[in-house]
Structure 1
Amino acid sequence: MLFKAMRRGFLLFLVALVAGCAGERPLPPPVPVDPVSALIADLKRGSYVFYWRHAETETKGEPEVRNLADCSWQRNLNAEGKRQAAAVGERFRLWGLSVRFIEGSPFCRTRETAAIAFERPVRLNSDLAYHVSQAPEQIAAGVEKLKARFARRPRTPGNLLLVGHAPPLRDAVGIEVPEGHGVIVKPDGAGGFRVVARFSDAGLFPER
């Protein structure tokens, strides 16, 4: 009797086990994460540095630096550049991104780019200035200061936006961007940094 009861219990256990296995469904595949959405979510947490080359400018010679408060001798934004600047500002608003600190080169084209996009005062930073007439050692010093700024995390919460020129960025990170385009840099907290994305009026493009 005992043996029959044990045998019957074992058979019932096997039936229940098979039924349970048959009722299991495979787990659904993981939902792929949109890299742009993931990046935007991280950017909203702050501590990034945005470097934006001024928007498109008019074709005009600019052989030497004069009074930077006087825009008449400078290569200023053309109509397309003003559109670019406004469009990038609108992109930031659509992405829900805020920049707590904005610093710009003292040239009129950089100041105007930031003013059109964000409609707020820009802190002028002579370290961001660049001109072909500068001495090589002056240019090199500016690049080193830019690297140091990229490596330093902005005060949280918030991001830092630097509006400048193409050559210092190229020499600092090895990337040359067209007018109106920029890069997003993430300081690593240990004296280094990496470029995580590029941006323009066309959108946000994470680095692969």
Structure 2
Amino acid sequence: MEKSLLALMKKGGLILYGRHGAATVGVDQPYGTFHSCQNQRNLSEQGRREAVYFGQMLRYWQIPILSPIATSPFCRTIETARLAFPNYDVQIVPFLYDIYKLGGDLPSSEQTRILTALSSMLEIIPPQGMNSVIIGHSFPRDVGLGILPDMGTVVIRPKGPGQGYDIVKKLTLEDLAKIDSI
């Protein structure tokens, strides 16, 4: 399966949804601004290494990546994208903050709105021969794409607007490093 996954990824047409690298201990401050990194959990040194390694692995496997890289507005997701893809543009997508909010106590109508918007985002097929990358957050258990480890990646096959998407595989950073030999 993994060899075919690598071939699929090299062919393009997928979305790689990655969680940011390991972050510092603490809590994001409520009502902080996204422009103020001191009010947020940020990448730890390990998280920075994970982000660099993630980008290196995608380049090593020659997986074509479309620019820009989409990120949530948090400093840790932006830094992850910039470290992983230093020669790419980064596009902050405010909606990706809503993924982070799924971990809170939201009314079911708000959770449904967020998951519907997420589905719309994950249904968009990248240009032929390319893969889109989104750097965001983990999800609560059994919600959206589920719990993701630091720098974990969900490989998604979009079917087109209104057609849904398939989760092809969930990968840890370690899985990505040995994708051809598992």
Q: Is the 8 A contact 1:47 1:154 kept in 2?
A: yes
What pairs up with 1:1-208 in 2 under 5 angstroms? Answer: 35-101=1-67, 102-119=69-86, 120-129=88-97, 130-131=100-101, 135-136=106-107, 137-167=109-139, 171-173=143-145, 175-189=146-160, 191-204=163-176
Match of 1:21 in 2: none
The residue type equivalent to 2:92 in the other structure is L
In our comparison, the structure showing a higher alpha carbon Rg is 1
CA offset digits 1:124-168 (Å, max 9, x no partner): 101111245685454442222111121221232311111111127
CA RMSD of aligned residues (A): 2.3
Contact 2:70 2:133 in 1 (8 A): yes
Task: Check the 8 A contact 1:47/1:155 in 2, yes or no.
Answer: yes
> Residue 162 and residue 169 in structure 1: after superposition, are their counterparts in 2 closer, same or farther (change >3 A)?
farther
C-alpha distance in structure 1 between counterparts of 2:159 and 2:140, whole Å: 21
- Taking structure 1 as the reference length, the TM-score comes to 0.74
Counterpart CA distance in 2 for 1:50 and 1:168 is 19
**More contact order relative to length (CA 8 Å, sep ≥ 6):** 2
Unaligned stretches of 5+ residues in structure 2: none
The letter for the 1-side match of 2:156 is: V
Query: Where in structure 1 do 4 or more consecutive aligned residues deviate above 3 Å?
Result: 131-140
Distance verdict in 2 for CA 1:126–1:82, change over 3 Å: same
CA distance in structure 1 between the aligned counterparts of 2:121 and 2:85, rounded to whole angstroms: 22
Q: Distance in 1 between matches of 2:144 and 2:18?
A: 14
- Asked if structure 2 preserves the Cα contact closer than 8 Å seen for 1:103 and 1:161, the reply is yes
Shift of 1:200: 3.3
Counting matched residue pairs gives 171
Identify the structure with the greater helix proportion.
Answer: 1
Matched residue of 1:171: which SS?
coil
The 10-residue stretch of structure 1 (162-171 or 143-152) with the greater mean CA deviation from structure 2: 162-171
Using the alignment, how far apart are the partners of 1:140 and 1:69 within structure 2?
28
